[in-house]
Structure 1
Amino acid sequence: MKTRNLFMAVAIIGLFATASCKTSKTEEAKEETVTMVTDVPETVQTPNIVGVAASNENFTTLVAAVKAAGLVETLSSAGPFTVFAPTNAAFAKLSEGTVATLLQPENKATLTSILTYHVVSGKFDAAAVVEAIKANNGAFTVTTVQGGKLVASLMEGNVMLKDEKGNMSTVVIADVAASNGVIHAIDSVVMPK
């Protein structure tokens, strides 16, 4: 009888030990699963052209102008677009009161024309622009969304834009990526005819 009780006691201890091992292995598996899930890298989507400009303090005047012209939806669409974006300093070069006047509702058509003159359909990074300039004897003409022309050229290693009035602007920051195109910051506002 003692042997039988001893045998049962050993069997019961063995069952508890096995159950305990299974429980800890199950808990370990759960912990591993949690660890694996938390190790997944977070994906961050690049904002569109309007989002990129809005997040950069150098483009506050441009963003205000885009809003006043009602172009937010257009520049947020799939595109792709290449935007030659005037910085705040570029807008400051305009005659005093010009920006304030352009932002008035009655001047929306003029403002829209000026802003769309800074936009080209398609995505053209700096390397593509430079290549096109070199392939076209040093001057490459692009048609803007507004319908006017800009002539891109190189001067001392910088991409220059010549507008229809003969004014020049320099690309000061190239290849700012956006989900629907690319932005090149320029140091002067270019003007259509």
Structure 2
Amino acid sequence: MNINRGIGLLLAAFLLMANPELANSQKIMTVIKNHSNLSSFAAALEANGIDEELSGNGPFTIFAPINESFDRETSGKNITSSSIRNLLLNHIMTGYATERNMKVMARATSMGGVTLVLKPGENPVKINNAEVLKMNIRAQNGVLHIIKGILK
């Protein structure tokens, strides 16, 4: 490989990491809806109008629980609309927190006011007590991490 091509590839990789808009042109809500194992979370975001907030510029970091976790927490329970909204906001942060950023941050606060303890050094990686199944799914206006568990 010639040196110019190598430098070009390195520059392209750096730009993708530094500028999430180059990585994925879809808004974060679209990215969530494209994952079938997040359909319960996506439906709840839409039902509570949070999908509109997530179509803004952001950036947002979302720790989206898989259907199994979200349904276990919400199904068959008498949950008020304000409680479900708060539960959803517990999974959303303003800012752009990739796995790399989380190694520097020990804690963050969700839009729901919950302190998120970021544990990227553990195996598996955890956010509070929720296992992170997939990290760094980039969107135009943020980043998505898929979790097994609920953030409270």
What's the TM-score once normalised by structure 1's chain length?
A: 0.62
Q: How many angstroms apart in 1 are the aligned matches of 2:144 and 2:59?
A: 11
Correspondence 1:178 to 2:139: yes
Contact 1:86 1:189 in 2 (8 A): yes
Aligned length: 131
Residue equivalent to 2:148: 187
Q: How does 1:1-193 map to 2 (within 5 A)?
A: 46-94=25-73, 96-98=75-77, 101-102=78-79, 107-132=80-105, 140-154=106-120, 156-162=122-128, 168-191=129-152
Between the aligned partners of 2:138 and 2:70, the Cα distance in structure 1 is 22
Q: 1:45 to 1:158 in 2, by over 3 A?
A: closer
How well do the aligned residues superpose, as a CA RMSD in angstroms?
2.1
Q: Which runs of 4+ in 1 moved over 6 A?
A: none
Unmatched tracts of structure 1, length 5 or more = 1-42, 133-139, 163-167
The amino acid across from 1:190 in the alignment is: L
User: Aligned letter for 2:131?
Assistant: T
Residue identity in the other structure for 1:62: F
Q: Which has the higher helix share?
A: 1
1:127 shift after superposition: 1.3
CA shift digits 1:132-184 (9 cap, x unpaired) = 3xxxxxxx12111122211112464332122xxxxx10111000111100000
Change in Cα spacing, 1:108 to 1:95, as seen in structure 2 (3 Å) is closer
Kindly state the Cα deviation for residue 44 of structure 1 after the two structures are TM-superposed.
9.9
**Residues 96-134 of structure 1: per-residue CA shift (max 9 Å, x gap):** 513xx44xxxx22111111111111100111111233xx
TM-score scaled by structure 2? 0.77
- Answer whether contact 1:66 1:72 (CA < 8 A) is retained: yes
In the alignment, structure 2 segments of 5+ residues that lack a partner are: 1-21
Asked whether the 8 Å contact 1:93–1:188 carries over to 2, the reply is no
Are the counterparts in 2 of residues 48 and 76 from structure 1 also a CA contact under 8 Å? yes
| In structure 2, distance between residues paired with 1:95 and 1:76 | 24
